[in-house]
């Protein structure tokens, strides 16, 4: 059972902002009317957004599709640099063009009955569509979500409404367990033995969770962030070292089988 | 011939020596792969030519990551010529390109003169290859690359050696990181180059003020995009008056007006590089815009723009 | 010494040979006149130093207009060293500058070695002049100017000649329009330069696609602004490891972070040029921002940034 | 009687957009709340506006102050390139910083009783404050205004309300005389013999009017547009060749005595 979509046509669509609101400190949720991409996108895929024209920054910015509702894409974004600052300033009616759907999306192994989703901070973004899709297929989903504080537990409501079980940890103990999500994961893997673990979050966290899963003999997929110029496989800026050689995160990922990734040969994660 | 304001058909063809392009717009090497990735956005048969990414003799892993960094109106890259080697390229990319009615120009890299020659010799056997573009200007490899493009002697040597093994049109891609690009252009012209491409990227660097590390793993990289356009236009203009072979101009082309600027400066064709990343349809916009520009001004043949800058 | 996160006083002083600046931020020649025009926006006594516009022996009319053109994240200029001559400069500008407690560095232009020497000799007599910055890199004059900055022999000759007539600190301003800037830097160091400034502008050109004329009356001009920052940072970094004299770094500095980038690459001081046009308070913002940057990171002396890039 | 203000302090002020509306095809009127500059500015002076930050264009744009009402500056602008396009997009509440007041302003010769103001197209902009100031001083003002069509006769209402007499010409004859304003000016100078002629418009027109006035022995001031980087006298990008050597339009102008200008040594006017 695959959600792979790599052979699908990539679209260039002029999207219109339906709403854009702050959902946590430094985090926004933007909703874009983008019917053609909305109908084609699969969980784990992303769009490459041209936030601004005429700005001194040129490149598009990659963002995961958090959810799709009808013709609309939801994107959860963290404000970090000039691109995301400009994104935060977009008001209803603004237009932006995007390329999508991009990437292969998450892969659901045949026979999966129980999945563990691990979200670190904004890593929740690409797990939104996934939790919905898995639930629809009757797969039991546990979400382990970590963030610095309660407020930063973005998409918590979605997870609580959709997953069978949600476990929380915060660095400051303001919600769930105090500590890192990796401690939660250790216990959940041991106790529940999921068929597959899906991870997205800071790369350091992702690596630890991958190791935990693989050590326990559980399949694991990780979503990796890389600097991306083209987003469509042409420029080779987004490479990930794997057992099968250099792969491009934009077309061969961003979700990779954790067992394939050669972590130490891979990129120093972007600073954010 | 110029017919004021009339609603004419514009002859978009340009000629580079024995090569004829249906229009002046080609892709810049390394920004378009072999075209497959752009097929959803670009009708390859509407391009003047496809210039492929650089190929070397053997597979090459490229540089460590991060490989790009954004800069004001530009970007740095240090991809480092990652490629599967000329054999794999001939097996996988050329047959795919052969389905399109578009000239194919293969960008040739090397870490030594012998390697340039070996790659060119292999490509010589393939009928899909319409011309070679020899990259003596890559700033992103330790040996070879740019070193060949920064002295007349080395540039001449590579050109001579490749010329000896190919009867295909030979384009040499020049480095802007030199005191006098006209002297390099003359040197390669003298050795039988049929055309020159310019410019490759300017050597640049960016440092992350949080981590104190260079933004590129390799430290330095190549600057491209609109930021470098004035340097590129200047070099095209200088070279146009120094040599008599045609020029493929590039550096920051995003719009048809940018392309016109390069042609007025003396380019017979123009290549879109970084612009492909910003908007994958840039080449098509430039083709259409160039035609509209000519039509709107009553210019019946786009080639009339070449070198037409007035002083 | 680095004290993590503490709320320290930052020692902002930097030393360039015998020159001591209260902070690393100076003005880039030609963008700040002699400071008078900025007095409503900048407290001159809060600058590291004022670097004046270039002065030549006799009054010089400069180039025809248009003299500037805007480009992506940059601008071209071909002012062409318009100035009233060194005598008028000493009479009118230096006394005005003398009222401020700020080091004065006079940028020296010449159309021949003899002219550089004559200007330097005249300035030698004036106590208001704390140092000379010899501009061997102006791309906007026909004779002299950049020509002196593009070969080691000529650069060395100008430096040697000026060195012979001045005991003041001698800074040589280098051209980026060269294949290997480190070799020029070494040549001027060998002739007794006390510091180098880099970079001057990149030679560029822009063509108006409506009129088909160059946007600058003179055709080519010098490219400055954020567009060139990656090239400038790269050159500062290269030169820092090639010479042991200090570097004044410049090219596209608009913010304190830009200044930090240049210092990490190896600059002991930084100059703000085009940034003054965009925001006349840029120098002050950079001074304040640099101090805040250090304080926020527990860096007790700004000089600890110099050359601190990590690999 | 001088309106010279060159010794005044230049200010950097953060202005806020009060309103911004289209007043003719491709022409806008923007009103900026900028109290310190508003109280200092004299007729003929201008501001150097930073329209956008973070854009790929860096430089400020110079604009004449058309009128001042209380704390507010009115600027009439023609949409030409990326700067003025961005200006046209500014909405109420937007902030922009500006430097001003800049330039010397118009000079009113001692004993002026009758002034002719010649406005070509957007040249009407710097004449707004002037017509008001002259009227206040009891100076008789005739305005000769030319434009391609009626719609482009910007500020016509102001002139009609304030000047003693307004003569109009349009290229298409849709208002006033058909033809160029220079024909009007020829007649008005001959008939009325004004004490001084103030001219602003396309440089070709300005030159003709200057020649007409000087030939008739009438004092003439011209406002010249030059490309300006700094706007404050430092960069020497805006020079005008005069009998007294090279002058800077930003601090020694933009209004010059027509008799001083060496037209042929001067700039090829910007294309717009
Ligand atoms: C496949 C993919 C999906 C992503 N999904 C999301 C998401 O759903 N929500 C979200 O908030 N962020 C997401 N990111 C990260 C997001 O792309 C960056 O935060 C964003 O590009 C930062 O842009 P900026 O201009 O604000 O930062 P700047 O630091 O100013 O950006 C400078 C350059 O670095 C790149 N860059 C900086 N940080 C990153 C990063 N972490 N990953 C990739 N490129 C980066 C920018 O794209 C730009 O080219 C995703 C990244 C990838 C690769
Ligand atoms: C003292 C002065 C007062 C002015 N007053 C007004 C006014 O009240 N209303 C108005 O509509 N225009 C006025 N102008 C012209 C106005 O500054 C330009 O139209 C504007 O800068 C164009 O910017 P842009 O980005 O739209 O055009 P672009 O062509 O994209 O601009 C590119 C560059 O050229 C410069 N430029 C282009 N045209 C001119 C020009 N005509 N004069 C000076 N610089 C130019 C720009 O400032 C910029 O640096 C004035 C100019 C000067 C010098
Ligand atoms: C990511 C990237 C990869 C490139 N790879 C190559 C290459 O393999 N061979 C080559 O000759 N030039 C290469 N170039 C240079 C471009 O072909 C072009 O000369 C340069 O980028 C300037 O054009 P632009 O500003 O339109 O990008 C590369 C440029 C970029 C940005
Ligand atoms: C309008 C202008 C005039 C300049 N005049 C001089 C000059 O007289 N002497 C000189 O050494 N450099 C001159 N320069 C170069 C600057 O000092 C500086 O080296 C260059 O602009 C790069 O810095 P920036 O990007 O911060 O402007 C001039 C630059 C500009 C933009
Ligand atoms: S971003 Fe260009 S190959 Fe992945
Ligand atoms: S605009 Fe700089 S001197 Fe006038």
Does residue D82 carry a pLDDT above 50?
yes
D4/D66: higher pLDDT: D66
Find the ligand nearest to B62 CA. 3
C69 lies in some domain:
no
User: Ligand 2 centroid vs C69 CA: distance in angstroms?
Assistant: 12
SS3 call for D159:
helix
Instruction: Indicate the pLDDT class of residue C1, thresholds 50, 70 and 90.
Output: very low
Question: What confidence score (pLDDT) does residue B38 get?
Answer: 97
Say if ligand 4 is within 6 A of residue C250 CB: yes
Contact: D58, C75; criterion CB under 8 Å: yes
Task: List the chains bordering chain A where 3 or more Cβ pairs fall under 8 Å.
Answer: B, C, D
Q: Which atom of ligand 4 approaches the CA of C68 most closely? A: 1
Instruction: Indicate the pLDDT class of residue D269, thresholds 50, 70 and 90.
Output: very low
The two tokens of residue A212 are 């935990």
Distance CA C221, CA B89 (A): 42
CA distance, residue C227 to nearest chain A CA (Å) = 9
Counted domains in chain B: 1
Predicted ipTM of the assembly: 0.96
Taking the alpha carbons of C156, C162, C164, C169 in that order, is the dihedral positive or negative? negative
CA distance, residue D100 to nearest chain A CA (Å) = 26
CB C11 within 8 A of CB C298: no
Task: List the chains bordering chain D where 3 or more Cβ pairs fall under 8 Å.
Answer: A, B, C
Question: What confidence score (pLDDT) does residue D270 get?
Answer: 47
Q: Pick D106-223's CATH classification: 3.40.190.80, 3.40.50.80, 3.40.50.1360, 3.40.50.1980.
A: 3.40.50.80
User: Ligand 6 centroid vs A196 CA: distance in angstroms?
Assistant: 66
| Catalytic residue list of B | 138
SS3 call for D268:
coil
Q: Give, in words, the CATH class of D11-102.
A: mainly beta
Say if ligand 1 is within 6 A of residue A84 CB: yes
Question: What confidence score (pLDDT) does residue A266 get?
Answer: 56
C142/B8: higher pLDDT: B8
CA distance, residue C309 to nearest chain D CA (Å) = 26
Say if ligand 1 is within 6 A of residue A228 CB: yes
Distance CA D102, CA D250 (A): 7
Question: What confidence score (pLDDT) does residue A263 get?
Answer: 86
Query: Which of C209, C241, C299 best tests the B interface by mutation, with the highest count of B CBs <10 A?
Result: C209
Contacts of D56 in chain B (CB under 8 A): 72-73, 226
SS3 call for B285:
helix
C180 lies in some domain:
yes
- Of B86, B92, B127, nearest to B107 (Cα)? B86
Instruction: Indicate the pLDDT class of residue C141, thresholds 50, 70 and 90.
Output: low
Question: What confidence score (pLDDT) does residue D272 get?
Answer: 44
- What ranges do the domains of chain A cover? 11-102, 106-223, 226-272
| Catalytic residue list of C | 138
The two tokens of residue B226 are 């609109």
Range with the lowest mean pLDDT among B283-292, C28-37, C186-195, D7-16? D7-16
Q: Where are the beta strands (DSSP E) in B42-165?
A: 50-51, 68-71, 74-77, 104-108, 131-135
Question: What confidence score (pLDDT) does residue B137 get?
Answer: 83
CB C96 within 8 A of CB C36: yes
- Got the DSSP string for chain C? -B-TT--PPPB--EEETTEEESSSEEEPTTSSTTSGGGTTT--GGGSSBEEEEEE-SS-B--PPSP-EEEETTEEEE-----B--HHHIIIIIHHHHHTSSS-EEEEE--SSHHHHHHHHHHHHT-TT--EEEEE---TT-SSSGGGGGSSHHHHHHHHHHHHTT--S-EEEEPPS-SS-HHHHHHHHHHTT-SEEEE--PEEEE-B-TTT-SBSSTTSEEEEESGGGHHHHHHHHHHHHTT-SS-EEEESS--SHHHHHHHHHHT-SEEEE-HHHHH-TTHHHHHHHHHHHHHHHTTBSBGGGGTT----
Residue C161 domain boundaries: 14-63+80-207+223-305
Taking the alpha carbons of C87, C92, C98, C104 in that order, is the dihedral positive or negative? negative
Q: Which atom of ligand 5 approaches the CA of A248 most closely? A: 4
DSSP collapsed to 3 states, chain A: CECCCCCCCCEEEEEEEEEEEEEECCEEEEEEECHHHHHHCCCCCEEEEECCCCECCCCCEEEECCEEECCEEEEEEECCCHHHHHHHCCCCCCEEEEEEEECCCCECCCCCCEEEEEEEHHHHHHHHHHHHHHHHCCCEEEEEEEECCHHHCCCHHHHHHHCCEEEEEECCCCCCEECCHHHHHHHHHHHHCCCEEEEECCHHHHHHHHHHHHHCCCEEEEECCCCCCCCCCCCCCCEEEECCEEEECCCCCCEEEHHHECHHHCCCCCCC
CA distance, residue D56 to nearest chain C CA (Å) = 5
Is the CB of D6 inside 8 Å of chain C's CB atoms? no
pLDDT in tens, C173-202: 999 999 999 999 999 999 999 999 999 999
Tokens 């569509």 — which residue? A129
Identify the helix (H) or strand (E) that includes residue D96.
strand D95-102
Question: What confidence score (pLDDT) does residue D264 get?
Answer: 77
DSSP assigned state of B298: T
Distance CA C261, CA C249 (A): 10
Say if ligand 4 is within 6 A of residue C177 CB: no
Tokens 């039991």 — which residue? A140
Find the ligand nearest to D231 CA. 6
Distance CA B70, CA B75 (A): 4
Q: In terms of residues, how long is chain D? A: 272
Does residue D3 carry a pLDDT above 60?
no
Distance CA C297, CA D34 (A): 37
Say if ligand 1 is within 6 A of residue A20 CB: no
Tokens 């008599």 — which residue? B244
Q: Pick A226-272's CATH classification: 2.10.240, 1.10.8, 1.20.81, 2.60.40.
A: 2.10.240
DSSP assigned state of B2: B
Distance CA D29, CA D7 (A): 29
Q: Which atom of ligand 6 approaches the CA of D234 most closely? A: 3
DSSP assigned state of B52: P
Task: List the chains bordering chain B where 3 or more Cβ pairs fall under 8 Å.
Answer: A, C, D
Question: What confidence score (pLDDT) does residue C142 get?
Answer: 62
Query: Taking the mean position of all CA atoms in its chain, how far away is CA D269?
Result: 15
Residues of chain A with pLDDT under 70: 1-7, 265-272
User: Ligand 4 centroid vs D55 CA: distance in angstroms?
Assistant: 22
Task: Residue C113: count other Cβ atoms within 10 Å of its Cβ.
Answer: 16
Does residue D215 carry a pLDDT above 50?
yes
Q: In terms of residues, how long is chain A? A: 272
Say if ligand 4 is within 6 A of residue D234 CB: no
Distance CA D250, CA D228 (A): 7
Is the CB of D115 inside 8 Å of chain C's CB atoms? no
User: Ligand 5 centroid vs B100 CA: distance in angstroms?
Assistant: 24
A174/C6: higher pLDDT: A174
SS3 call for D197:
strand
Nearest to B223 among C213, C230, C260 (CB): C230
Q: Torsion angle, CA of C70/C76/C82/C88, rounded to 10 degrees?
A: 80
Q: Whose alpha carbon is nearest atom 3 of ligand 5?
A: A233
CA distance, residue B5 to nearest chain A CA (Å) = 30
Tokens 């030169």 — which residue? C239
Q: Which atom of ligand 4 approaches the CA of C200 most closely? A: 19
Distance CA B264, CA B304 (A): 9
User: Ligand 1 centroid vs A270 CA: distance in angstroms?
Assistant: 9
Identify the helix (H) or strand (E) that includes residue B115.
helix B113-124
Question: What confidence score (pLDDT) does residue A168 get?
Answer: 93
Task: Residue A91: count other Cβ atoms within 10 Å of its Cβ.
Answer: 9
Question: What confidence score (pLDDT) does residue C146 get?
Answer: 66
pLDDT in tens, chain B (311 residues): 444 555 789 999 999 999 999 999 999 999 999 999 999 999 999 999 999 999 999 999 999 999 999 999 999 999 999 999 999 999 999 999 999 999 999 999 998 999 999 999 999 999 999 999 999 987 666 665 667 889 999 999 999 999 999 999 999 999 999 999 999 999 999 999 999 999 999 999 999 999 999 999 999 999 999 999 999 999 999 999 999 999 999 999 999 999 999 999 999 999 999 999 999 999 999 999 999 999 999 999 999 999 999 98
Query: Taking the mean position of all CA atoms in its chain, how far away is CA C243?
Result: 18
Contacts of A234 in chain B (CB under 8 A): 31-33, 37-38, 276-277
Say if ligand 1 is within 6 A of residue A123 CB: no
Q: Which atom of ligand 3 approaches the CA of B53 most closely? A: 8
Residue B54 belongs to domain with CATH number: 3.20.20.70
Find the ligand nearest to A229 CA. 5
Q: Whose alpha carbon is nearest atom 30 of ligand 1?
A: A81
């Amino acid at each position: 059972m695959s959600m792979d979509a790599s052979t699908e046509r990539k679209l260039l669509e002029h999207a219109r902002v339906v709403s854009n609101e702050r959902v946590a400190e430094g985090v926004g949720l933007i909703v874009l009317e983008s019917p053609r991409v909305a109908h084609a996108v699969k969980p784990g895929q992303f769009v490459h957004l041209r936030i601004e024209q005429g700005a001194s920054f040129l490149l598009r910015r990659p963002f995961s599709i958090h959810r799709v509702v009808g013709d609309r894409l939801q994107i959860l974004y963290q404000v970090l640099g000039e691109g995301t600052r400009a994104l935060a300033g977009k008001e209803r009616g603004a237009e932006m063009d995007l390329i999508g759907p991009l990437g292969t999306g998450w892969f659901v192994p045949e026979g999966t009955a129980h999945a563990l989703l691990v979200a670190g901070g904004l890593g929740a973004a690409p797990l939104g569509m996934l939790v919905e899709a898995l639930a629809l297929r009757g797969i039991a989903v546990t979400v382990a979500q970590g963030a610095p504080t309660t407020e930063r537990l973005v998409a918590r409501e979605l997870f609580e409404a959709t997953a069978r079980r949600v476990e929380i940890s915060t660095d400051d103990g303001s919600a769930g367990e105090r500590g890192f999500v990796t401690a939660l994961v250790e216990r959940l893997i041991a106790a529940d033995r999921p068929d597959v673990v899906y991870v997205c979050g800071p790369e350091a966290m992702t690596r630890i969770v991958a190791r935990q899963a693989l050590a326990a003999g559980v399949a694991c997929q990780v979503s990796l962030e890389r600097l991306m110029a083209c987003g469509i496989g042409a420029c080779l800026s987004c490479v990930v070292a794997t057992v099968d050689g250099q792969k491009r995160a934009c077309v061969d990922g961003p979700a990779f089988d954790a067992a394939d990734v050669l972590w130490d040969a891979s990129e120093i994660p972007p600073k954010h | 011939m110029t017919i004021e304001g009339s609603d004419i058909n514009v002859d978009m063809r340009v000629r580079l020596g024995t090569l004829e392009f249906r229009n002046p717009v080609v892709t810049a090497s390394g920004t378009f792969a072999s075209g497959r990735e752009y097929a959803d956005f670009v009708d390859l048969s509407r391009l003047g030519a496809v210039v492929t990414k650089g190929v070397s003799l053997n597979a090459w892993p490229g540089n460590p990551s991060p490989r790009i960094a954004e800069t004001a109106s530009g970007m740095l890259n240090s991809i480092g010529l990652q490629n599967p080697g000329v054999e794999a390229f001939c097996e996988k990319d050329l047959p795919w390109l052969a389905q399109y009615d578009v000239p194919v120009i293969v960008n040739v890299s090397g870490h030594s003169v012998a390697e340039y020659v070996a790659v060119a010799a292999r490509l010589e056997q393939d009928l899909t290859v319409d011309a070679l573009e020899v990259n003596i200007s890559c700033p992103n490899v330790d040996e070879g690359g740019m070193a060949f493009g920064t002295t007349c002697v080395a540039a001449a040597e590579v050109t001579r050696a490749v010329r000896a093994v190919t009867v295909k049109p030979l384009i040499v891609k020049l480095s802007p990181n030199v005191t006098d690009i006209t002297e390099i252009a003359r040197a390669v012209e003298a050795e039988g180059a049929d055309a020159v491409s310019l410019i490759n990227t300017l050597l640049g660097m960016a440092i992350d003020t949080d981590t104190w590390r260079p933004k590129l793993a390799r430290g330095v990289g190549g600057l491209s995009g609109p930021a470098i356009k004035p340097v590129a236009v200047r070099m095209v203009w200088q070279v146009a008056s120094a040599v008599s072979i045609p020029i493929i101009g590039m550096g920051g082309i995003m719009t048809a007006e940018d392309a016109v600027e390069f042609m007025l400066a003396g380019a017979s064709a123009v290549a879109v590089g970084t612009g492909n990343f910003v908007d994958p349809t840039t080449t098509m916009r430039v083709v259409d815009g160039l035609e509209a520009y000519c039509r709107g001004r009553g210019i019946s043949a786009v080639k009339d723009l070449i070198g037409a800058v007035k002083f």
